[in-house]
Amino acid sequence: MGLTSKKLELLVALLAVASFIGTVYLWPRLSGRNWKAVSGRVGTLLASQLLSLMALALVANNWGGFYSSFSDLFGTDQGPTPSIVDHSKPASDGKGAGSVQIQNSKPVALQLGGAAAGASGGTVEQVTINGGSTRLSEDGYVYLPAAYKDPAYKNKKFPVVVVFTGYPGTPENLISRMKYPTIAAQSIYQKKMPPTVMVLLRPSVAMPRDNECQDIPGGPQAQTFFSRDLPSAMASAYNVSTDGKAWGVIGDSTGGYCALSLAMREPNSFSAAASLSGYYKAAEDSTTGDLFGGSQALRNQANLLWRAQHLPAVPVSLLVTSSKTEADYKATEAFIKAVSAKPPYQISSLYLTSGGHNFNTWNQETPQALPWVASKLSVPGSTTGA
């Protein structure tokens, strides 16, 4: 049974209930003052409390999708490293373009009242993306719109939106909790966005470390993976454009910071970004380690407000979301002010009346934010757009 298994959740819950009942039943027999009775009382209480906490932790983890497996939880899921390449799973096509391995696929239900009978919502494929230059590898999902299999689009390149989780989220959350494929399918069907391919990933390419989408001196080159390797690998497997004008990125929390950071730092790779409750400077804590090799210059460049104030503007479109009840509200206002004063930056905002740093808030924002990003993309020489 895996960490997210419903069977494990039920088993631990039943054990917690049984332990509680056992404690109540045995308590009179453990009322003595000798060491055996005291040890018995301590043991039954500890067992009951630990099992109850474990049951609650499993429920909370499955609700929030914080850890996807025991190896993820205990930090043993290190993933591929730049110095070791498993040649049974090629990380390159021999030309440095990278590759995409497809494990399985399933259809996306349109889930839209009034939709034509038999209308398709597209397909989701579970994939592993291998970087040709960084030798990094990341598991995730690729959403293909219904038009992808339409013969009319056979010779047309599709735009791409990269969708990031927060840290330490899992790509499954983007499907089960935030329903990105369903939102995309509905928006495309309703002509709110053009047929668009999505890549659903977590932003940390070397878990359990949080790399904040940075090229870390002497460490994982996450920025290069997302801006160079990812487009090349996707183009090797799918009919998508590699032109930066056709690529956008959206994410929540850490994924939101990464979305803005990649667009501002890599305008030739991404032309639009949306941040849902993202922050504006790279986190530095025990999960990140030293991101900058002691360089204040690199630290400054990872501060998006500093970039907007001190570095030349680039021609990208940015969307930030917040509410007056969120902790990042003032920082968001300061970022908007700095960016709006520096064309050719273009910035938009989406404010809720109230909201916090959680899925409920992001689920209210995504139906507008995703089509917004897609609307900013264009495939040079193509008429794919709706």
Same domain, 14 and 98: no
State the pLDDT at residue 36. Answer: 81
Residues, the chain: 386
216/278 same-domain check: yes
Q: With respect to residue 1, please indicate whether it lies within any of the assigned structural domains.
A: no
Residues 213 and 322 in one domain: yes
Q: What are 272's two structure tokens?
A: 């639009």
Q: How far is CA 290 from the centre of its chain?
A: 22
Handedness of CA 322, 180, 238, 120 (dihedral sign): negative
Quote the pLDDT of residue 9: 84
Any domain includes 85? no
Whether residues 108 and 59 share a domain: the answer is: no
Q: Of the candidates 11, 134, 141, 30, which has an alpha carbon nearest to the alpha carbon of residue 82?
A: 134
CA gap 164, 169 in Å, rounded: 9
Number of domains in the chain: 2
Q: Is residue 133 one of the residues assigned to a domain?
A: yes
112 and 38 fall within a common domain: no
State residue 17 phi and psi, 5-degree precision: -65, -45
How far apart CA 277 and CA 297 sit, in angstroms, is 26
pLDDT of 291? 96
pLDDT at position 39, please? 87
292, part of any domain: yes
Same domain, 321 and 188: yes
Per-residue pLDDT of the chain in tens (386 residues, 90 and over written 9)? 776 677 888 888 899 899 889 888 888 888 778 888 888 888 888 998 998 998 888 887 766 555 556 655 655 544 433 322 232 334 444 445 689 999 999 999 888 877 776 788 999 999 999 999 999 999 999 999 999 999 988 889 999 999 999 999 999 999 999 999 999 999 999 999 999 999 999 999 989 999 999 999 999 999 999 999 999 999 999 999 999 999 999 999 999 999 999 999 999 999 999 999 999 999 999 999 999 999 999 999 999 999 999 999 999 999 999 988 888 899 999 999 999 999 999 999 999 988 888 898 999 999 999 999 999 999 987 654 44
Same domain for 284 and 360: yes
181 token code pair = 């494929």
- Report the C-alpha dihedral over residues 45, 9, 2, 73, rounded to 10 degrees: -60
What is residue 63's predicted lDDT score, i.e. its pLDDT? 61
Question: pLDDT at position 385, please?
Answer: 42
- Please report whether residue 81 resides in a domain: no
Structure tokens at 129: 């993306």
- Helix or strand run (H / E) with residue 201: strand 197-201
- Classify residue 291 by its DSSP letter: S
Would 80 be classed as within a structural domain?
Answer: no
What is the span of the domain harbouring residue 39?
6-64
Q: Assess whether 221 and 102 both reside in one domain.
A: yes
245 plus 186 within the same structural domain: yes
Number of Cβ within a 10 Å radius of residue 183: 21
Q: Which amino acid is at 313?
A: A
C-alpha 159/C-alpha 196 separation (Å) is 5
207 and 250, same structural domain? Answer: yes
Structure pTM? Answer: 0.78
Q: Is residue 83 part of a domain?
A: no
DSSP letter for 190, please.
T
Tokens for 79, please give them. 């993933």
The rounded distance, in Å, linking the Cα atoms of 129 and 91 is: 8
Candidates 312, 359, 300; CA nearest to 173 is 359
Chain centroid to CA 36? 51
Nearest-5° Cα angle at 200, 159 to 165: 125
The string over 52-67, giving b where at least 16 C-beta atoms fall within 10 Å of a residue's C-beta and e elsewhere, is: bebbeebeebbeebbb
Angstrom distances, CA of residue 108 to CA of 2, 125, 145, 206: 25, 10, 9, 29
> What 3-state class would DSSP assign to 298?
helix
Is 196 in the same domain as 54? no
Q: Which of 231, 218, 216 is nearest to 158 (CA)?
A: 231
CATH number of the domain that residue 354 is part of: 3.40.50.1820
What pLDDT, on the 0 to 100 scale, is given for residue 146?
95
Number of H helices, E strands in the chain: 12, 9
Calpha distance 281→4 (Å, rounded): 32
> 336 and 210, same structural domain?
yes
Residue 229 belongs to a domain? yes
Which residue type occupies 167?
Answer: Y
Tell me the three state secondary structure of residue 125.
Answer: strand
